Structure 1
């Protein structure tokens, strides 16, 4: 292929722009102009900084960038740029100095590809992964079962440091009887084949401590579809197992993993996990693209309540309750669920993620066991704050625990739930400063209800990050442990 044909091919396939060594625009092709939204006469003769934020254009980094190009040095990477009307775009680009016959650079040619959508997608994925890493215990194995990595949550649950387990085999977490069983060999053979496994598992922590985890083992595949490692997501359910034993298994049906389904804002199904499909009796291809109404009675679908539910979700509002739904076989079931709007980088809802538990057995349980079921089957209390600590919204469980109505607290500061002495202290200021820096907090906290009562909660404060990795709100998940703390204090007082 001659040089002219080669350049023509590049011009057709890539965005291209030329600059002099000072950064002034000489020419740009149609692909580049379409990407940034300008006409050629709007950019020709102007400086490259027109595509940059004022902060970046005035930075030392930017000046060094053009000095480097002026000396004939090549540069490549992903760059945040501004299109017409300030529209943010991301470009995968190379800046290529062009040399004259004496080997001196005389202009710079930039070849670029618009990767804005890819960056947005990656930001969503990274946000989800970060949220999972904060809330769950995670460990990675190779296909032979040797530990590759583990997060802090996992190490805390098992009582190890990373250097104590890295390179060791998964068997270090298991009992001897299980290690020598056909079931254990079949377990790893299944994972090596790329098959998924989930359930509750008895494991051994450091110093022989027995614990139970609810976990999924997820094979990860290479581009050729071959599994090359296993990622395990786990939650410590030891206390839950103890409660199950005490109640003689009466609430086993309630202790299921969560069922998850995603909808667009009109209510059409985008995706669902295995647990959801098992609960409702469908295959995935039977529900994708169908409307949420397929899970509801005709009477409910035609009601004002149903229309208001989807209008509410479309506005980006959260909904949580127990809902009566319908399986594929027509059987009525009850689910404890939350409908959670997911927001894009501009804060606009674009889909709904629903987390659900099958509580049919709990609903049908006799009055004798009703109290026991309710004690176990509580939904979490959730509240959201802006970065200044002002309340954005709160769910029914939170409002009930603290004794407020939503309109009483919306727009108020978090300090309304705190002791006045604590609010005046350095610790409280540092707490909100840390959240403002994107730091995650977890622990026990003493709070004050509407009526001045002390409430103890086990809670996590999770900053939510935007597309640029900056925190824009804080979501708090909490469980009321007041009774447990009072019992501990009473025991301590006696001893």
Structure 2
């Protein structure tokens, strides 16, 4: 203002804040980027959590299925690709007469004769397995006490996430008693071949029995590639006894098509008397409470004929350890029961 107090000129005073504004804009841009990154990380975390939960669920079910294999009496043993023993279940150890620490780290050749272990055939056997080619059939093996054991089963290839052979899993049933019985039948047949017509007829009956046992043995040759490929008759139930699924071996044994049993209750396989009994109700109550059952079971096929099964009702558990389903694994022992009777 001038001397009279009237406006005379304008004076501007200022500081340069350009760098501050630029810094503020940079901070804002960084904050937006970090927010976007946090959202992406959150989504990735959710996906990883879902994947982990699925892996845990599948792992739990696989563990339950392998437990069912152990409970069913099936012998199992795992090897490295070179034949080195990793581990074996109690059924295998008991069958062969070993303790776990006696065989872990040893080579498979401890179960075969010295002649076989040195043979070209044996080397090719492990070479094939290393390339991913499975083997199944009957195998003659030596127990710790030097006695021969006859095993019916398979050497299956366990693969890694890339589909490459990683380990070898053997699943097997002990058929030593059956083989010995077959040999006894063969000796009887040879003795009877020189006898009269009555003995010839007896021979035909024994031959028929032998052929039936050979047929069953042939069926067992395709059984053990893990559990489903093992050839063991299997059927799954809900905890209330409702049939969920059954493999071809079980359906063939009982004379059904899958569509005929799905959704039905287990009682279609038992007599009316047993289905109404307190014992039968307690049987399913035990299973629902997580108590497995194994042994011999008398069941009724579609044609009304009795089938005798040797096996187990095992508990499939969910990721939390609670009973989820019932898995039955069994072998048909009807003809042997008839022979015993």
Whether the TM-score (by the shorter chain) exceeds 0.5 is yes
Q: For each residue in 1:295-334, what CA deviation from the matched residue of structure 2 results, as whole angstroms up to 9, or x when unmatched?
A: xxxxxxxxxxxxxxxxxxxxxxxxxxxxxxxxxxxxxxxx
Distance 1:356 1:210 in 2: 30
Is residue 2:20 matched to residue 1:126?
Answer: no
**Where does structure 1 lack aligned partners over 5 or more consecutive residues?**
17-30, 33-90, 94-112, 261-271, 276-336, 359-377, 380-391, 417-428, 448-456, 487-495
Q: 1:355 to 1:183 in 2, by over 3 A?
A: same
CA distance in 2, matches of 1:179, 1:204: 12
1:353 aligns with 2:247: yes
Q: Gaps (5+ residues) in structure 2? A: 1-28, 187-209, 255-264, 299-307
How far residue 352 of structure 1 moved from its aligned partner, in angstroms, is 4.9
Pick aligned residue for 2:313 from 423, 439, 462: 462
Quick one: which of 120, 143, 147 aligns to 1:205? Answer: 143
CA deviation profile, 1:372-425 (whole Å, cap 9, x unmatched):
xxxxxx87xxxxxxxxxxxx63454xx4xxxx33xx333532279xxxxxxxxx
Counterparts of 2:176 and 2:251, CA distance in 1: 19
Structure exhibiting the larger radius of gyration computed from Cα positions: 2
> 2:36 and 2:241 mapped to 1: Cα distance?
42
In the aligned structure 1, how far is the partner of 2:310 from the partner of 2:289?
Answer: 19
Q: Is the 8 A contact 2:235 2:243 kept in 1?
A: no
SS at match of 2:133: coil
1:187 offset after TM fit, Å?
Answer: 0.6
Equivalent runs, 1:20-419 vs 2, <5 Å: 113=50, 115-135=52-72, 136-248=74-186, 250-251=211-212, 252-257=214-219, 340=235, 352-355=246-249, 393-394=266-267, 396=269, 399=270, 404-405=271-272, 408-414=273-279
User: How far, CA to CA, are the matches of 1:253 and 1:415 in structure 2?
Assistant: 33
- Count of residue correspondences: 261
- CA-CA distance at 1:114 after TM superposition: 6.3
Q: Is the 8 A contact 1:254 1:357 kept in 2?
A: no
RMSD between aligned alpha carbons? Answer: 4.5
SS of residue in 2 equivalent to 1:201: strand
Q: 1:195 to 1:3 in 2, by over 3 A?
A: farther
Deviation at 1:11, TM superposition (A): 1.4
Per-residue deviation, 1:194:
2.1
Q: What SS does the aligned partner of 1:355 have?
A: helix
Query: RCO (CA 8 Å, sep 6+): is it higher in 1 or 2?
Result: 2
What's the secondary structure of 2:266's corresponding residue?
Answer: strand
Checking the alignment, whether the CA contact within 8 Å between 1:440 and 1:460 is kept in structure 2 is no
Q: Deviations over 1:421-459 (max 9, x none)?
A: xxxxxxxx9x999977745554579x9xxxxxxxxx885
Change (3 A) 1:475 1:226: closer
- Could you list the per-position Cα deviations for residues 212-256 of structure 1 after superposition, in whole angstroms to 9, with x for gaps in the alignment? 001211222223333232111111111222233345563424422
Higher strand share: 1
* Structure with the bigger percentage of helix: 2
